[in-house]
Structure 1
Amino acid sequence: MPLDHTAKGVYVIAPTPFHPDGRVDEASTDRMTDFFLQSGCDGMTILGVMGEAPKLDGAESLEISRRIIRRAGKAGIIVGVTAPGFAAMRALAHGVMEAGAAGVMIAPPSHLRHDEAIVGYFHQAVEAIGTDIPWVLQDYPQLFQVQMTPGIIRRIVTELPSCVMLKHEDWPGLEKISALRKFQAEGSMRPISILCGNGGIFLDFEMERGADGAMTGYAFPDMLVELVRLAQAGERDRAHDLFDAHLPLIRYELQPGVGLAVRKYVLMRRGVLASDAQRRPGAAMSAKARDEVEYLLARLGRHDPRARLSPPA
């Protein structure tokens, strides 16, 4: 089903599995897809920042997308199509939509420095991919160095009807969610889905501010699913208790540079990935860092049985 403004739940950000020699690991890709969906995720977002998309060539990006879309069945798959030029963006967007993707995600290039340039860029992007493709606006100023105020987001949503979702990754960003929901309540902005990133570090309160769920990676996506469901059911204390138990590992995984290595390591420890390898260039975990992650997993296991893993080989 095409993505629309009613999307909610967890659309987990998927890493790209690699063999130690840099080849795409197809068996781990299938196992990862099954694991995410069996964990209760409503969909997946692939070829995002944590999917090492810039390290893939065009053919690899399309083939990985097709493989995951086929495997996922009716689950919604969103594909990151951000590219330096619109020709590559258009080719990948059309290819994945033809394969059955639910929608695509677009981030602003880092050179945009004023409001008119930001709005103009997204007009050009939609013109390139076509107005019939639903898309997600990625707001991640810490990485892309582009500041989008609530007013600019409202303008983009208003002027470009095919924008149906915001991936909210501003930090601090709780007031931005409240402002956007206020626009919606007063009728000055049409409804959109808001899913939140940043490794889930603020997901407990983001849900209370009006977010529809999470679009982030974490080595325990099944916890994100449970947290979102508790929050939607109004189980505030249970949601915060669950979040608090996982917060030390969430924080550790959120480290710039090494965060993807941590996530892949824990997914490997959970039996999802055969290897925690990244395609070069990539930051590897030190032996000390692995010891720290094992310590965090052991502590988490006191509260959540999902973290009670067999000792590493």
Structure 2
Amino acid sequence: MPLDESAQGVYVIAPTPFHPDGRIDEASTDRMTEFFLEAGCDGMTILGVMGEAPKLDGAEALEISRRIIRRAGKAGIIVGVSAPGFAAMRALAHGVMEAGAAGVMIAPPSTLRTDDQIVAYYTQAVQAIGADIPFVLQDYPLLFQVQMTPGVIRRIVQALPSCVMLKHEDWPGLEKISALRGFQAEGSMRPISILCGNGGLFLDFECERGADGAMTGYAFPDMLVELVRLARAGERDRAHDLFDAHLPLIRYEQQFGVGLAVRKHVLMRRGVIASDAQRAPGGRLGQTAVAEVEYLLARLARHDARARLPALG
């Protein structure tokens, strides 16, 4: 089903599994897709920042998207289609929607500086891909260096009906969520879905501020699913207790430059992917970092059985 403003829950950000020689690992891709859906995720977001999208050529991006969409069945698959030019964006967007994607995600280029430039860019992007394709507005100023105020997000939402979701990754960003929900309550902005990223680092309070769930890629997406469920049920203390147990590993995984290596290592340890390899240029964890992650997993296992993993061989 096409993505709309009612989307909620967890749309996990999926990494792209690679063999050590850089080839896409299709078997791990299938296993990863099944794992995420069995964990209770409502959907997946692929070809995002943590999906190493810029390292794939156009044919690879379309093929892995088709593979995941086929495997996921009725689950909603959102595909990152951000590109330097609109021709490539349009080609990938049309290809994945024809394959059955729920929608696409578009990040702003780092050259945008003013509110008018931001609104104009998204207007042109919608003209390029077509107003019939639902899209996710990605707001990640820490990485893209584009500052979207609540006011400019409202302008985009009001001007472009195909904008149905905000991927909220501002930091600090709790007040932004409150401001956007305030616009919605007063009737100055139509309803949209808000899913939050940043590795889940603030998800406990983001849900309380009005977020509909998570769109992030922490290596324990089953925990994110449980946390969102507890928050929706009003079980505040249980939600925070669960979050607090995972926070040291969430924090470690959130480090710029090594976060993907940590995430892939833990997913490999959980048996989800066969290798923690990244396609070049990329890095791997050093021995000390691996030991630190293993220490955090052992500590987490005292509180959450999902972290009880066989000893590292």
The aligned amino acid for 1:202 is F
Aligned to 1:296: 296
Partner of 1:50: 50
CA distance in 2, matches of 1:209, 1:113: 28
Q: Aligned residue for 1:69?
A: 69
Counterpart of 1:12 in structure 2 is 12
Q: Superposition pairs for residues 1-313 of structure 1, below 5 Å?
A: 1-313=1-313
Structure-2 separation of matches of 1:190 and 1:129: 22
Instruction: Give structure 1 stretches of 5+ with no counterpart.
Output: none
**Matched length:** 313
| AA of the residue aligned to 1:62 | L
**TM-superposed deviation, 1:21:** 0.1
Give the TM-score normalised by structure 2.
Answer: 1.00
Secondary structure of the structure 1 residue equivalent to 2:79: strand
Deviation per CA, 1:166-199, whole angstroms, max 9, x where unpaired?
0000000000000000000000000000000000
Deviating beyond 2 angstroms after TM superposition, the runs of 4 or more aligned structure 1 residues are none
Please state how far the C-alpha of 1:281 moved relative to its aligned partner: 0.5
Give the aligned residue type for 1:81: V
Q: Distance in 2 between matches of 1:83 and 1:134?
A: 17
Q: TM-score, normalized by length of structure 1?
A: 1.00
Distance 2:220 2:106 in 1: 25
Between the aligned partners of 1:250 and 1:110, the Cα distance in structure 2 is: 27
User: Aligned to 1:285, what secondary structure does the other structure show?
Assistant: coil
What are the Cα deviations for residues 214-270 of structure 1, in whole angstroms up to 9, with x where unaligned? Answer: 000010000000000000000000000000000000000000000000000000000
Letter of the aligned partner of 2:40 in structure 1?
A: G
SS of 1:17's partner is coil
Q: Deviations over 1:251-299 (max 9, x none)?
A: 0000000000000000000000000000001121000000000000000
| Alignment partners' CA distance in 1, 2:175 and 2:133 | 29
| CA deviation after TM superposition for structure 1 residue 312, in Å | 1.1
Deviation per CA, 1:2-23: give whole Å up to 9, x if none: 0000000000000000000000
Helix, strand or coil at the partner of 2:230: helix
Structure 2, unmatched stretches of 5+, are none
Distance 1:202 1:71 in 2: 31
